[in-house]
């Protein structure tokens, strides 16, 4: 029995290309799952904060944040958001930047590590990104995160205890240190089987192709 291919994904809840990359990866893996000799794949999400200095309650909308953060005119920022909204739609995602509540994501990352320990990281990642990009939910405050954890099937009291104690902050920092060691400077970033690095929200067929390639290499070895 060949061991599963490990795909490690560095991403941020507040990264629009990360949600697109997540969906494209899932769609690519769904295609190869239909192969006669379907690869076994294990996907793990890792923490990366794009804007760690962002306050939990940011005063303004996404246009305000990006215009200030990137020093771009609001018109250019709106063009950029329109573009990513269109790309997201092509991956089956309905982005609502008009509803989005910009926030600090460190607690969301802590929650992902809590969910990972419960075997529910994928469900939690999907719930957080959907809440942030398509529903206009707040993903920075503990009360809001506990509610989202419960919606993802996790125990609310246990999730609250994990977030209030901050016991998974060291896991978040370890992920970030690993990203730095790999030289990762932007997300999403995918490390395939510890040896191939894939940067950006690649199309689903690109993920299918590299997965098949790595699986074939495994079989030959």
Q: Are 70 and 3 in contact (CB under 8 A)?
A: no
Please tell me the distance from the alpha carbon of residue 47 to that of residue 41, in angstroms, as a whole number.
20
Domain ranges of the chain: 5-220
Using only the alpha carbons of the chain, give its radius of gyration.
18
Q: What are phi and psi of 203, to 5 degrees?
A: -65, 160
How many Cβ atoms from other residues are within 10 Å of residue 138's Cβ? Answer: 18
* 169-216 pLDDT per residue, tens: 999 999 999 999 999 999 999 999 999 999 999 999 999 999 999 999
Please tell me the distance from the alpha carbon of residue 173 to that of residue 185, in angstroms, as a whole number.
15
How sure is the predictor about 1, in pLDDT bands with cuts at 50, 70 and 90?
A: low
* 110-124 pLDDT per residue, tens: 999 999 999 999 999
pTM of the complete model: 0.96
Q: Are 206 and 41 in contact (CB under 8 A)?
A: no
How sure is the predictor about 70, in pLDDT bands with cuts at 50, 70 and 90?
A: confident
Tell me the fold of 5-220: Glutaredoxin (3.40.30)
């Amino acid at each position: 029995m060949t061991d599963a291919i490990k795909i490690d994904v560095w991403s941020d809840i507040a990264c629009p290309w990360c949600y697109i990359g997540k969906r494209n990866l899932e769609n690519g893996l769904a295609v190869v799952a239909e192969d006669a000799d379907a690869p076994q794949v294990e996907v793990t999400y890792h923490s990366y904060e794009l804007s760690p200095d962002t306050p939990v309650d940011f005063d303004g909308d996404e246009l305000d944040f990006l215009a200030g953060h990137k020093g771009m005119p609001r018109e250019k920022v709106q063009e950029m958001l329109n573009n990513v909204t269109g790309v997201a739609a092509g991956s089956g995602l309905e982005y609502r930047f008009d509803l989005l509540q910009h926030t600090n994501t460190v607690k969301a990352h802590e929650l992902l590590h809590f969910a990972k320990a419960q075997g529910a990281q994928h469900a939690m990642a999907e719930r957080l990104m959907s809440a942030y990009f398509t529903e206009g939910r707040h993903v920075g405050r503990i009360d809001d995160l506990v509610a989202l954890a419960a919606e993802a099937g996790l125990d609310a009291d246990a999730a609250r205890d994990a977030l209030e104690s901050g016991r998974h902050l060291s896991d978040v920092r370890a992920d970030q240190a690993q990203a730095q060691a790999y030289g990762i400077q932007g997300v999403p970033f995918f490390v395939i089987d510890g040896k191939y690095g894939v940067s950006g929200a690649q199309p689903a067929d690109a993920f299918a192709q590299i997965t098949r390639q790595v699986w074939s290499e495994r079989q030959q070895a």
